[in-house]
Structure 1
Amino acid sequence: MTRRVFLFVLLAAVVVPAPQAQVDLSGDWGGAISGVLPLVLHIEAADDGFTASLDSPTQGAFGIPVGEVLLDGLAVTFTFPVLPATYSGQLDATLDTLTGVWNQGGVEQPLTFVRGAEATGPNRPQEPQPPFPYATEDVAFMSADGTVLAGTLTIPAGNGPHRAVVLTSGSGPQNRDEELAGHKPFFVLADYLTRQGLLVLRYDDRGVGESSGSFETADLYDFTADATAAVEFLNAREEVADVGLLGHSEGGYVAPLVAKQTETLDFIVLLAGPSVRGAEVLEVQNELAYRLAGVSPETAEAYATALGRVLQRIIAVPLDQPLGDELLATARDSMRATITALPAADLALAGVREDNLDQVLAGLADFLQAPWARAFLAYDPQPDLRALDVPTLALFGAKDFQVPPDQNEEPMRAALAASNSPLWDVETFEGLNHLFQTAPTGSMGEYGTIEETMNPAVLARIADWIASLE
């Protein structure tokens, strides 16, 4: 499951009061979170304060409003209510460098802004560059509820008909390139597969990019309807022979659901697709994330176990019923009791402190109520995987802690073995993370620091397997 560095809300810049005017902050300030995610802070002087906004160019987010600017000597704090996040920094003697910390969801990351500096992204050697040896076509198609989804078709040379594949993304609001941490995995994948003779459709999630609808109110079953519409859209085109679906991460939940919705799906590729219930994935994911942060195994296990108990209560509530204030209060109290009993040193490594614990717990409560989260946590893919009757390839990365292979590989293998799939295979690639990059540890914080977008062996494995189908 791909992660959001922050929530993008594209709003106009707002005017915020400046407590004092002895320091002129006006100008464009460039920086990068942890040296990875480029940001540009725009500050303009106004009669009654500053006009300020933030851009994240590599993620396509512009004009994120600054809610407040606090200036105390050379110490500056910016708040971003719509994210929500804060940045606190200290100006140097030149007044042109601001060194500080970005804090979002209790996680602190270093960030230095320099006045006049351009925010440049990291090197991405695999990102395709024109001219391309294939045709590109912007398309739009309609989902079952009337949502219009915008995408890009890449069409190989030749008259066809061509074997085709739809790419469906992981969790979080994703554009057609599945853009994350300066990487564009689906752009790289679509380019590679099209050069191998496949017609490829990738599309913006509902509510993202050029697609209509709302992402915030959507859930797993909305995404399934969208992917089903994509498959049927391709099947209606004359230059298409047969159609497969490639799902990454949560897209691995979507694929078997689509197979249940349509008889026109001919094959499936699952990249880091979970094979157990979402609540189980999240519990193990949190334990591994804490361990990667340096937290002791005992603390990581205690936190994950407590979270697992809360999640079981949540998924017991039918999706068409609200969770209720009493259940949410019980969940917060349970997690508060667990967290406050854990060693402070371990909590600090995880970015949890006494002064931000309420914020962390409020964020958990908001997450548990979100339509996407409730559907994801409750879904068990086993019955749908066992009902598959089309060729299926499932790939994992050995260093993936978001969909850990130790948890998901064997249940995937067992489900496909029990299915009616005429051809299936499950493989784990050593040394690769959730994005199928060659990774030191698999931590999410490494995604943007790695130049590789997707390991060439994985690209070749996907193309060769599809080519082998009769």
Structure 2
Amino acid sequence: MMMSYREENVAIQGKYQLQGTLEIPIGEGPFDAVLVIAGSGSGDRDGNFKAGKLFPNIYKNVANYISSLGFITLRVDKRGCGESSGNFLETGLFDLVDDILSSIEYLKNHPLVEKVILLGHSEGATLIAAANARCPVDGLVFLSGGAESLPDALVRQRELAKNEIVNMKGFKGIITRLLKVDEKVEKQAKKLNDKIMASNKDVIKYQFQKINAKWFREHYQYDVFEDLKKVECPSLAINGDKDIQITPDKAHDLSSYVKGPACTHVIENMDHLLKEVDKEAPILSAAKAYKENQDKPMHPVLELRLKEWLEMYYPNEVIGGSHEVE
């Protein structure tokens, strides 16, 4: 049965004021709380990208479902995104971690919150490992991430892109091979990486575009595996086998790093945005595939796995009711 809950807008005070949505089950409490941490990019707290016309509502769907199970949930706009203040382009990896710590403090000081669980998607899976190492929490959920660093994921994505270029059919394939586009992909990546690492600026220009050099540098220098070794709380890692942005089986590697009890799953026919799909999209047309599937609900097996794990480590009395928004 599902529990009813109410929503309220809240402000989180860190270096900058961040705006978020808090969902609170109807009842006396106290409740365990799940802080939802977004992946990379300038999307809002719901997981939507207005500039890219992509509205999959990833984090809203996750939060709504978890709140219906009797948990408080909090999702927050990142610095310079949505309604939060700050400059997104100047925000580094550890700035994002600092903001997570501010949200953890907010939840720990909330009179209805008992335990705090971090749920990170994509880059968020890396961020929750870093946050937990600095402020240990009561549980970690890694979605579309697991034991994989950003540099490793980028290398894999470039390899997929090069293979797709080499195997293009028709006239377009002939032209791309003649121009050796696949070789240029790696050269351009190395050139950009070298420029980023040689810089000490937060933002640099590359091919007429502004690049968040600080964010890239900190990711390249950060060792997520060292922080995973500090995890003593229960953890859950879930990837989809149709995820082209990460290595799906890396979810299973989590248990070899963390000290606490770990559950891992690779869900059949789930993509990076936690949707149910019947085929893996080519990486060169991933954005198109995401838009085609954006209205789909959260994968039903993901719901089941989340429910099983939460019931195992954070049991509560879930009552029926309707969703109330205030």
The letter of the residue matching 1:133 is S
Aligned to 1:168: 37
Aligned to 1:276: 148
Q: Which runs of 5+ in 2 are unaligned?
A: 315-326
Answering whether residue 269 of structure 2 is matched by residue 435 of structure 1, we say no
The letter of the residue matching 2:109 is A
Alignment match of 2:6 (pick from 135, 138, 150): 135
The 1:391/1:429 distance shift into structure 2, 3 A limit, reads same
Deviations 1:349-383 (A, max 9, x none): xxxxxxxxxxxx716x743x532233234333111
The 1:269/1:229 distance shift into structure 2, 3 A limit, reads same
| TM-score normalized with structure 2 length | 0.80
Please say if residues 165 and 182 of structure 2, whose CA atoms lie closer than 8 Å, have aligned partners that are also in contact.
Answer: no
| Offset at residue 447 of structure 1 (A) | 0.9
Corresponding residue SS for 2:117: strand
Deviations 1:334-353 (A, max 9, x none): xxxxxxxxxxxxxxxxxxxx
The letter of the residue matching 2:227 is D
Deviations 1:31-52 (A, max 9, x none): xxxxxxxxxxxxxxxxxxxxxx
Matches of 2:119 and 2:42, distance apart in 1? 18
Matches of 1:376 and 1:459, distance apart in 2? 30
Matches of 2:11 and 2:165, distance apart in 1? 42
Identity of aligned residues (%): 28
Deviations 1:150-180 (A, max 9, x none): 1111111211110110001011112110114
The 1:244/1:255 distance shift into structure 2, 3 A limit, reads same
Deviations 1:116-171 (A, max 9, x none): xxxxxxxxxxxxxxxx931111111112x2x1111111111211110110001011
The 1:370/1:189 distance shift into structure 2, 3 A limit, reads same
The 1:240/1:379 distance shift into structure 2, 3 A limit, reads same
The 1:310/1:397 distance shift into structure 2, 3 A limit, reads farther
Aligned to 2:248: 405
Q: Highest CA radius of gyration, 1 or 2?
A: 1
| TM-score normalized with structure 1 length | 0.57
Answering whether residue 103 of structure 2 is matched by residue 230 of structure 1, we say yes
Alignment match of 1:362 (pick from 207, 211, 230): 207
Matches within 5 A, 1:12-31: none
The 1:379/1:444 distance shift into structure 2, 3 A limit, reads farther
Matches of 1:426 and 1:305, distance apart in 2? 33
| Offset at residue 271 of structure 1 (A) | 0.6
Matches within 5 A, 1:445-460: 445-450=288-293, 451-460=295-304
Aligned to 1:7: none
Please say if residues 280 and 308 of structure 1, whose CA atoms lie closer than 8 Å, have aligned partners that are also in contact.
Answer: no
Answering whether residue 49 of structure 2 is matched by residue 177 of structure 1, we say no
Aligned to 1:27: none
Matches of 2:297 and 2:22, distance apart in 1? 21
Runs of 4+ in 1 over 3 A off after TM superposition: 289-317
| Offset at residue 457 of structure 1 (A) | 1.3
Answering whether residue 243 of structure 2 is matched by residue 372 of structure 1, we say no
Please say if residues 178 and 185 of structure 1, whose CA atoms lie closer than 8 Å, have aligned partners that are also in contact.
Answer: yes
The letter of the residue matching 2:58 is P
Corresponding residue SS for 1:447: helix
Please say if residues 137 and 153 of structure 1, whose CA atoms lie closer than 8 Å, have aligned partners that are also in contact.
Answer: yes
Answering whether residue 264 of structure 2 is matched by residue 391 of structure 1, we say no
Matches of 2:297 and 2:85, distance apart in 1? 28
Please say if residues 149 and 205 of structure 1, whose CA atoms lie closer than 8 Å, have aligned partners that are also in contact.
Answer: yes
Q: Which runs of 5+ in 1 are unaligned?
A: 1-131, 329-360
| Offset at residue 322 of structure 1 (A) | 4.8
The 1:300/1:418 distance shift into structure 2, 3 A limit, reads farther
Matches within 5 A, 1:152-231: 152-180=21-49, 181-231=54-104
Please say if residues 278 and 378 of structure 1, whose CA atoms lie closer than 8 Å, have aligned partners that are also in contact.
Answer: no
| Higher RCO (Cα < 8 Å, 6 or more apart) | 2
Matches of 2:140 and 2:146, distance apart in 1? 14
Matches of 2:84 and 2:26, distance apart in 1? 28
Corresponding residue SS for 1:428: strand
Matches of 1:257 and 1:316, distance apart in 2? 21
Matches of 2:271 and 2:40, distance apart in 1? 16
| Offset at residue 237 of structure 1 (A) | 1.0
Larger mean Cα displacement after TM superposition, 247-256 or 453-462: 453-462
Please say if residues 283 and 307 of structure 1, whose CA atoms lie closer than 8 Å, have aligned partners that are also in contact.
Answer: no
Matches of 1:189 and 1:284, distance apart in 2? 27
RMSD: 2.9
Matches of 1:157 and 1:282, distance apart in 2? 43
Matches of 1:171 and 1:282, distance apart in 2? 13
Name the count of aligned residue pairs. 293
Matches of 1:293 and 1:453, distance apart in 2? 32
